[in-house]
């Protein structure tokens, strides 16, 4: 963490005098927060294209129509990063995540250029974790060797299932054999990778879910992300809902996952995350511990802390619109300060996802507020048996983890 100097102006400077939203933010009076140190800073890079839009996906992704403007987009990313430098000057980057979309559509040369631009503009921690999302069906052994040589040291592979029929139901472009081949290529080139799988899939039985999870475990990945399929608004699945397992069957799947991952030596450290010792996702831990992140690329979001305020930003979502605005000098569509009333909830919304919780003093360190600010909600959660706390630790109980949404909502009233 970076100690904060007692003097100086932490107000984000506007990138364009013609942008009234930026200018207004620049002249806000200092807030009443008192951050004594800035949190770790991560970088998120969004790649907005994919081969095919999946019917369950609500991410900012767009189907490639023949080709995509790789060089033009890389130009925009570099300009975006350059324009953000005054907001993060002197701060080191502890993790980088290249997400999408399907970033593994980038050419080997394109990815190398992206990482070179980042290294040129930003100081990186010596142990920086650089993760790239990749989907089976886009795996080419030579290209992934080049990705590794360029500096990617962790892959996150979107397997979702090994069952070809379930993959078809999910609209995935790969089959079970391609999923296995992708993991073999990852094993050959990376010593750190994550497998993304989903359960409670359309028409999936507990036995089929068990086979998926056991197959993933047999590959011995350092990290597993296991997500319950949700029918998100504004997706094809929301409009035409498939037949999915009922709540009792989903609960049986969750019990099965706990059994298999525990027996295989994985620590269930976050709602959907399981890791071998010392293999937790550094980038995602920073989110859950209410760290800072700079997001560049179409639709990317940022959370940046200053001595007396915490600011959020959002870039324009559509790739073409983003690139046009970036050429004009400013791709930020929305920017604003997180108010005191929202900080307690936002911190707890993230921290309560961690099964082992967070240190008590992290609340004041990351929000600039006293823990007394959420005292009533803490007491209420304790009285319901959903939260454990002592002088060192805040963490959800087993009951709190089971009814996590209810526990998180208790902090909305603050």
Same domain, 282 and 363: no
- Please write the tens of the pLDDT for every residue from 170-203: 999 899 999 999 999 999 999 999 999 999 999 9
In a domain, 115, yes or no: yes
Average pLDDT over residues 324-344: 94
In a domain, 318, yes or no: no
Same domain, 42 and 153: yes
Same domain, 256 and 361: no
| DSSP symbols for 62-92 | EE-BSB--HHHHHHHHHHHHHHHGGGSTTPP
Residue range of the domain that includes 47: 16-286
In a domain, 252, yes or no: yes
Output phi, psi for 49, to 5 deg: -105, 150
Domain edge (last residue) among 286, 312, 327:
286
Distance separating alpha carbons of residues 22 and 395, to the nearest angstrom = 38
Q: What is the CA radius of gyration of the chain?
A: 22
Mean pLDDT is lowest, of 25-34, 95-104, 124-133, 398-407, for 25-34
Same domain, 348 and 279: no
Domain count, the chain: 2
Same domain, 278 and 363: no
pLDDT for 141: 86
CATH number, domain containing residue 366: 1.10.10.10
Domain edge (last residue) among 286, 302, 335:
286
In a domain, 258, yes or no: yes
Same domain, 142 and 208: yes
Task: With a cut of 90, say whether residue 120 has pLDDT above it.
Answer: yes
Domain edge (last residue) among 266, 286, 306:
286
CATH number, domain containing residue 282: 3.20.20.70
Same domain, 238 and 98: yes
Report pTM: 0.90
In a domain, 182, yes or no: yes
Same domain, 270 and 187: yes
Mean pLDDT of the chain: 91
Same domain, 264 and 161: yes
Q: How many CB atoms lie within 10 A of CB 254?
A: 16
- Please write the tens of the pLDDT for every residue from 258-306: 999 999 999 999 999 999 999 999 999 999 999 999 999 999 999 999 9
In a domain, 307, yes or no: no
pLDDT for 31: 54
| DSSP symbols for 345-370 | HHHHHHHTTBTT-EETHHHHHHHSS-
Same domain, 197 and 277: yes
């Amino acid at each position: 963490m970076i100690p904060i100097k007692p003097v100086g102006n932490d107000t984000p400077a506007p990138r364009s005098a013609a942008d009234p939203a930026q200018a207004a933010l620049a002249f806000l009076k200092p807030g009443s927060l008192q951050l004594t140190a800035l949190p770790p800073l991560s970088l998120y890079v969004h790649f907005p294209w994919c081969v095919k839009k999946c019917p369950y996906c609500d991410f900012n992704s767009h189907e490639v129509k023949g080709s995509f403007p790789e060089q033009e987009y890389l130009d925009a990313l570099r300009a975006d990063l350059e324009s953000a430098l005054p907001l993060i000057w002197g701060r080191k980057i502890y993790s980088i995540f290249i997400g999408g979309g399907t970033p593994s559509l980038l050419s080997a040369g394109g990815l190398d250029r992206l990482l070179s631009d980042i290294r040129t503009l930003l100081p990186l921690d010596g142990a920086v974790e650089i993760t790239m999302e990749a989907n089976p069906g886009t795996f080419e052994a030579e290209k992934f060797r080049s990705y590794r040589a360029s500096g990617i040291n962790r892959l996150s592979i979107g397997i979702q299932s090994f069952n070809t029929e379930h993959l078809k139901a999910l609209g995935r472009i790969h089959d079970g054999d391609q999923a296995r081949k992708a993991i073999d290529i990852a094993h050959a080139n990376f010593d750190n990778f994550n497998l993304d799988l989903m359960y409670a899939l359309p028409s999936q039985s507990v036995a089929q879910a068990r086979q998926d999870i056991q197959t993933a475990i047999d590959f011995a990945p350092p990290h597993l992300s296991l997500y319950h399929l949700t029918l998100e608004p504004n997706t094809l699945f929301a409009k035409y809902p498939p037949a999915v397992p009922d709540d009792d069957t989903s609960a049986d799947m969750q019990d099965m996952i706990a059994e298999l991952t525990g027996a295989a030596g994985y620590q269930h450290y976050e709602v959907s995350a399981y890791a071998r010792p010392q293999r937790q996702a550094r980038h995602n831990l920073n989110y859950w511990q209410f760290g800072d992140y700079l997001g560049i690329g179409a639709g990317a979001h940022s959370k940046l802390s200053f001595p007396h305020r915490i600011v959020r930003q959002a870039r324009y979502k559509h790739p073409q619109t983003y690139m046009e605005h970036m050429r004009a000098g400013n791709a930020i569509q929305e920017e604003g300060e997180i108010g005191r009333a929202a900080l307690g909830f936002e911190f707890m919304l993230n921290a309560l996802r961690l099964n082992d919780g967070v240190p008590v003093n992290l609340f004041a360190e990351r929000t600039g507020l006293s823990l007394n600010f959420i005292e009533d909600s803490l007491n209420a959660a304790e009285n319901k048996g959903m939260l454990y706390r002592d002088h060192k630790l805040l963490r959800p109980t087993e009951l709190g983890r089971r009814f996590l949404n209810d526990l998180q909502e208790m902090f909305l009233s603050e």
